[in-house]
Amino acid sequence: MARVGFSEWVAAGMAISEGHLLRYGGKHNRVDRFESRLSALTGAKYVLAVDHGTGALVAALAAAGVGPGDEVLVPAYTWMSTPAAPVAVGAVPVLVEIDETLTMDPKDLERKITPYTKAIIPVHMVNTPADMTAIMAIARKHNLLVIEDSCQAVGVTYKGKFLGAIGDAGAFSFNKYKNLNIGEGGAVLTSSEKIYARTRNFHDLGSFVRNHAETFNEPTFIGSNMRITEIEGAMLNVQLTKLMPLMRRLRERRKALEPIFNAGEGFRISPHNDVDSAVTLTLLFDRESDAIAFSNQRGVARLLDNSKHVYTNWEPLLSKRTYHPKFNPWAWANREINYSDDMCPRTLNIISRTCVVNLGPQYPVAAMKVLASKMVSGRWPWQGASKPARPAAEDKRYASTNAQSASTR
């Protein structure tokens, strides 16, 4: 989470004092400036700021032409916005297992492709890049769109490229938990003129009153309103200046803590798709009970305990319930698609054994090293006589790591 302080307060205050808060028609064009700066930073030809990351996903899917009858591949470990976005445009999400990198498993992804698959949404969870090389290759082979959910990875790079700017489009979130934080906000990134033109149209009701339509040779269509204000633009410009320093601090701490955690027992640092630029550190335990004990005693979060990030907690999705019975994408899908609690056992197994270490970018590296040493040393309840027996149920629950749900093939 990036901190918001005095500079954002001053910037927002200046925008308010100037009085013209709509992003269009004023003199200062703060939102425009933010978009240009983010585009220059990430290399995405076009950036459009919107009111949240969920909206960014929905707008990108709509702009890319995803709709009724289409299937969209999403990982089983992500925030619920990812599977909800396809539903919002009339398509159906199909769940894909993650691998130990905590991101979409390219092998399972390829297994889940059907003649109806239209798009893939790889999610870069907890600042960790998905295997974009493999995913882009699969997408090109099967002629699928790739919409990156980079909501949790704003500013993170993968093999020298910015996440969100690799696929056909990318979605950023600027909510309070993200690397770039203004409370709520988001952006769509793309290098496709068509997707950009359609995203602009979608985010502003069909461009009826402004001149978006004149700029591009794309017919207008009815959209929604996802515009952001100049106050948000002002704050975003301040936050953007802080983004890459934040990334540097995270990278520095990850590198400093790596040897300490490598020396620990009972766990290893999770594999990573681009370890040289890693800005996060998660620990993969051999056993679920060890991860639970570590989480309880060392104050770190275990991923399975993270509520709506786990598909088993997506109750409305599992029950295929929408706001109106007649607006239900599963009803017009090309085949029956069902969900169940046990459909992605490998994902549950991995996140039940993974804890995320806060790299403490606001604290000195030396202090973080002391904390990390304390985390890996000391006596653990399971080290020695009081070691708890491994619950039999735990092994059984996740035994079938490669099980595929017949209903989603």
Ligand X SMILES: Cc1ncc(COP(=O)(O)O)c(C=O)c1O
| Contact pick of 99, 108, 148, 149 for ligand X (by CB under 6 A) | 149
Measured from the CB atom, the residue of 286 and 315 that comes closer to ligand X is 315
How would you list the strands of the sheet with 117-120, edge to edge? Answer: 46-50, 186-190, 169-173, 145-149, 117-120, 71-75, 92-96
Asked if 95 is part of the footprint of ligand X (rule: CB under 6 A), the reply reads no
Where does this chain touch ligand X (CB under 6 A) — which range of 74-82, 227-235, 258-266, 383-391? 74-82
Measured from the CB atom, the residue of 121 and 368 that comes closer to ligand X is 121
The least CB distance from residue 84 to ligand X, in Å, is 9
The mark string for 29-68 relative to ligand X (x by CB under 6 A, - otherwise) is -----------------------xxx--------------
Please choose, from the candidates 188, 140, 193, the residue with its C-alpha nearest in 3D space to the C-alpha of residue 164: 188
Asked if 201 is part of the footprint of ligand X (rule: CB under 6 A), the reply reads no
Separation of alpha carbons 326 and 82, rounded Å: 22
Asked if 285 is part of the footprint of ligand X (rule: CB under 6 A), the reply reads no
Asked if 232 is part of the footprint of ligand X (rule: CB under 6 A), the reply reads no
Separation of alpha carbons 174 and 181, rounded Å: 5
Asked if 203 is part of the footprint of ligand X (rule: CB under 6 A), the reply reads no
| Contact pick of 34, 46, 77, 79 for ligand X (by CB under 6 A) | 79
What Cα–Cα distance (Å) separates residue 368 from each residue in 151, 250, 277, 374? 26, 11, 19, 10
The least CB distance from residue 52 to ligand X, in Å, is 4
Asked if 280 is part of the footprint of ligand X (rule: CB under 6 A), the reply reads no
| Contact pick of 75, 186, 345, 361 for ligand X (by CB under 6 A) | 186
In the 8-state DSSP scheme, what is residue 312?
G
- Measured from the Cβ of residue 164, the count of other Cβ atoms closer than 10 Å reads 31
Measured from the CB atom, the residue of 306 and 373 that comes closer to ligand X is 306
Name 25's Cβ contacts closer than 8 Å, sequence gap at least 6. Answer: none
Measured from the CB atom, the residue of 123 and 304 that comes closer to ligand X is 123
Asked if 123 is part of the footprint of ligand X (rule: CB under 6 A), the reply reads yes
What Cα–Cα distance (Å) separates residue 369 from each residue in 131, 269, 360, 376? 29, 15, 10, 11
The closest residue (CB) to ligand X is 53
Please choose, from the candidates 317, 123, 85, the residue with its C-alpha nearest in 3D space to the C-alpha of residue 202: 85
Separation of alpha carbons 247 and 12, rounded Å: 24
Asked if 101 is part of the footprint of ligand X (rule: CB under 6 A), the reply reads no
Name 137's Cβ contacts closer than 8 Å, sequence gap at least 6. Answer: none
| Count of residues interacting with ligand X (CB under 6 A) | 14
Which residues of this chain interact with ligand X, rule CB under 6 A?
52-54, 78-79, 81-82, 123, 149, 151-152, 173, 175, 186
